[in-house]
Structure 1
């Protein structure tokens, strides 16, 4: 009987212990299951945030790529416009130089015509004096008196030539020679302007290339002139400058082209 009683107590204790273990494991399981659910929710939220940020980053990258393409297109257009602007400035400077040369030529021709008018006036005055002198001389031969008016021009020309040899302001060259001189001078001046503009153009291109990729600057050597030496300097200093020194050409702004011409000739010769 005692053995049976002990066996029953043992069974009861075993059953009680088993019930306690079962309750404990279920509570722990529910607790662990609850924690994993919260973690899953947190992980899900974090994943949603990461996906959203990834989409935003991709959208920003696409937008940045489009902006870079727009910037490159604008830079190309800017370079093209700068080149066109540079070419237009070069053409404008060449046209302005040609216009200045034409204006200076006009001023010089006007000054030259003025000097010619003054020379004609002085020659007419000398011719009148010579006629009065010839008419005042005693001439007994009537034919000689008649011939004198006819030979008046010859005598006046010979005496005029004699006087011209002593006159420091006498014209030493013809009008055609002076026109040739002016034409040659204008051609040389236009060539100088064109060469200067070309030199500035190439220098600007070299500076642009240096800013892009540094390279050694090429040495620009001037080509020796193959044209024969002309008498422009001699004509200017023997024909125009004596007129200036004698006061036949007034000291006004019209002398500036002549002085510049003299300085230009000094550079070329």
Structure 2
């Protein structure tokens, strides 16, 4: 018992310390990735080349330690619950045994009292029998000595009836005691069956808890994948917007720097806000390109909203239904079957988009990613084409300008 008390005191001291879960590790990795992006934007990739593998290895070790800590914590909780259940069963069995022994002692004491009463009654009956025998012998002697005397009365039948009734009552009491003992034994057997059933239920609950923990780990991995995909979509949207701004700026610069031949051309004031700037075909292409970009941005926003993690509140019944019944077969491409760590995969997705912009190409070898396999193709804007070739045809299309 002192050893158990010491262990419990150590457990309480350990519980007071803050613990880091796998979710916390991924949050830390996300923050570190953002800081790396800021450093790359300010100082370039050379500033993080030597630091990146060390940080990734440290985060992988922290992830492994957090996973092992959660697993050991679950095992400790299971062992504590099992110890508490065993101690409770032990105390219950001791109480049942003590109560059963007390009942047996009471029954034995009652039987001893009844046996003493019966022995006293038998002794009394034997004494009365001797008296009756002596009285009968005396009467027979008197009858043999005096033949003319009247016959002696019969033995008192009331006494005999009373003795028979007493014997019947004692037999009934013995039968009742036997029935009580049998009922107590039946009750003890039913309690033992209930204890076994509760043990089976506790094992089933522990199995469901393990399945729930496995589902939680799989959801954590999927959450990391979704966060990386959301980050990719955000970078892609920002890249599209940046390309659109650059194309508009190039188009404006080309329109300002162009100096076409104004012979036989319609002249407009430069400061006139209503002057035509594009031909009908160019305006049609611009509108078409704008519609395509708007549709692309809308699709990306919908996809981004779809990948955002949603945590709807679940009732205890829904949480119980999640682990009931047979589990579906695990797919071959499940996240928990991949050999690569979640941290390395997270950083690979984080920096894979930077390769297309030429900013973080030298960082990818440290995170194990390819340079272009994970990036999606980005549509090139036709505004730059208009800026390059729109004004070259202005000399022959003055009559078609808006």
Fold in common (TM above 0.5):
no
- Normalised to the residue count of structure 2, the TM-score between the two structures is 0.31
Instruction: Mark the structure with the bigger radius of gyration.
Output: 1
Report which of the two has the higher share of helix: 1
- Tell me the TM-score normalised to structure 1 length: 0.43
